Chains A and B, each alone.
Chain A
Amino acid sequence: MSEFEPYDEHEGREDPNDPEEKDGPDEKSEAVEQRRGHGSDGDDGRGLGHSPRIPMPRASLEDGGRPLPVLEDPGEPPVPATALPSAPAPLVLEHHVLKSLLGAWALSACSSEESAAVEEHLGGCGTCADEALRLRDAVGLLRPPESLDLDPALRTRVLEGCLHRRPPRIPVPRWATPYDAETARLDALLQDIGDAEWHAPVRLRWFEDESPTNRRTTVAGVIAHLLSVDGLVAIALGLDDPLGDTAADSPDPSSRTETYWSASRFPPTRGVRAPWREQTHDLVRTVSFTGGSGSGSARPAVSYGSFELPLHDAMLDRAFECWIHAEDIAEAVDYPYEPPAPRHLNSMIDLATRMLPTALAGRRQRGLASPARGRHLGVAGEPGRSLRLEIEGLGGGEWLIPLDSPAAVGSAEHEVAHVALDGVEFCRLAAGHVPPEEAAAGQVGDHEAIRDVLFAAASLSRM
């Protein structure tokens, strides 16, 4: 059944002993070249002339100057010590043994004595000679696997092309497409990394108590983190909780993650990829049915413990987290990783800007932001003192952030400050990966307001 399972398929290709798996194909082609090269170095005097019908093995181990395999099997007939160095006494093997050796012989994967015995035999046994020829030809068909990394943009192009030709009856909601795309991109990265890289150290970074903080884990630990927190959306949709019966102390992202990590005596491995990926697919499928149409009111809200988000925003939030952590992983295993597609990036920035006024109000209550100064405090729907956030680059745009109340409406007339920064830089700030003091932002106007907004953006981050 493994042939239906892309994960297994990939695992089948891994060499568990090779920590440099990601360089595998190149090394392998080199190895093949070596074999081919040595194959023409001439013969070793073994077997020549015994079987004119059958081409010689492409290369043999002893051609490569490697030590001859030792005959370890005590049941093997010993090579007589009196054998002449130039012509070792031939092994005498039974027909069924010779036949069973044909695969190993074709691959040059038996001892020279065995090879000689097989070749001797092929001269006189038509059936075996036919099979030997066939298997030798088959060896020529073995190729190192081609590089598997597909351009992630191809997925979007292919799917959009399909949906254009036949519009779907049950579309993936527009607000769920960033999650669909980001999880697919991360999965493509995971497909490419070797066993050892799953244990590469990664630091989860976020901003807490006014300063950067971090938690050490591994690549597999990051995927376990995504699985645990995506599980909040799964629960809201009535799907299985990936934590199963192991109840977390509280339903917030970090408790759930710590619970998942500590539920097993062993640190997570690449085995976490399949359940993570299955859950991402389940979420996209389920929101297509439950969340696609109508207004937001029919959709369930997703609880993060101390706050909740409407389903469509939670899916954007999870897309954002998926990208940010994919970058953490890519950095840890030294892979290139691009920012999301511009329109997806734009939706993520938009979500952050919509969360800013509430974050500001919360910080003000705790004395972490300057007091409100507007004349229209608390009057819902009224224009209020605002900061113009100008996001540059693909996926950018302009947002007016009301400063004094989440209920107020951003207003160009009441603009007191203007901040300009790059879209990816803004997202890293909101992810707690760039301290607010260091965010490369062009700023004009009320410095206090600017400081408050940049710190509020950083405070959106969490584990």
Chain B
Amino acid sequence: MAKKDAPPRWDRRMQQRLARGEAAALGELYDRFASLVHGLAHRVLGDERAADGITRDVFAHVWEHPETYDPKQGPLRSWVATLTHRLAVQRLRVTETAALAQGDSTEELESRVRRASVAARADYIVTSMPSPLRAALELAYFQRRDYRQTAADLGVTEDEARRRLRLGLQLLSTAHDTGAPGAPPGYGGAA
């Protein structure tokens, strides 16, 4: 009954609708990405109101500059996540720099920013990874199932359960990979 556009098509179409100033498209964009945006911002900043502010800024940016998204560079979702990450880290730096005046060292600031960045990327990777991998990780970690029970729960072989757990963690471990400053990695929608 539900007719789903293939994601790249949905992304392109959304961009066109935003570009021509369709308010209904903005609402749909919000409905699809608000919890992603708010969740990432909250993971970086650890503060509800600050996350609200980032959410406002992210959607304002997309609404005012839809042309800055290039569908050829990847999914809209990754782009929105990267934008959120950048704005949230910027804000964290500002607030933490203010705290610096109270005696924190620059290294402490940098390591706090790095930890927050890695945590946010990890969240994104988990929510974006193929659901079979995520399901396996959730069973093994949150439900404390061993891999044999995980295999049984998922109806797959034990080999497959081991493979999924290893692959899921391998994907997750890329949250630690930092690239050039200002260009947060880990939001390539490939996962």
Contact = CB atoms under 8 A, between A and B. Distances in A.
Interface of A: 1-6, 8-9, 11-13, 15, 17, 28, 31-32, 35, 61, 64, 66, 69, 72-73, 100-104, 106-107, 109-111, 131, 134-135, 137-139, 141-146, 148, 150-151, 154-155, 157-159, 161-163, 165-172, 180, 184, 187, 191, 242, 244, 274-275, 277-278, 281, 284-285, 288
B7 A4 contact: yes
Interface string B109-133: 0000000001100110011111100
Nearest to A149: B35
B26 A101 contact: no
A2 B32 CA distance: 12
Please give me the 10 A-B residue pairs with the lowest Cβ-Cβ distance, nearest first: A103-B166, A169-B21, A103-B165, A141-B122, A168-B23, A138-B173, A104-B147, A138-B172, A4-B7, A109-B140
B50 interface: no
B142 A170 contact: no
B146 A143 contact: no
Interface in B31-52: 31-32, 34-35, 38-39, 42-43, 52
Contacts of A134: 170, 173
B175 A138 contact: yes
A159 B27 contact: yes
B176 interface: yes
B167 A72 contact: no
A101 to B, nearest CB: 6
Interface of B: 1-4, 6-7, 10, 20-28, 30-32, 34-35, 38-39, 42-43, 52, 55-56, 59-60, 63-64, 75, 77, 118-119, 122-123, 126-131, 134-135, 137-138, 140-150, 153, 158-159, 161-170, 172-173, 175-176, 189, 191
A162 B59 contact: yes
Contact of A281 (B24, B150, B166): B24
Contacts of A144: 142
A169 B24 contact: no
A157 B131 contact: no
Contact of B22 (A111, A278, A285): A285
B123 A143 contact: yes
B169 A107 contact: yes
Nearest to B153: A17
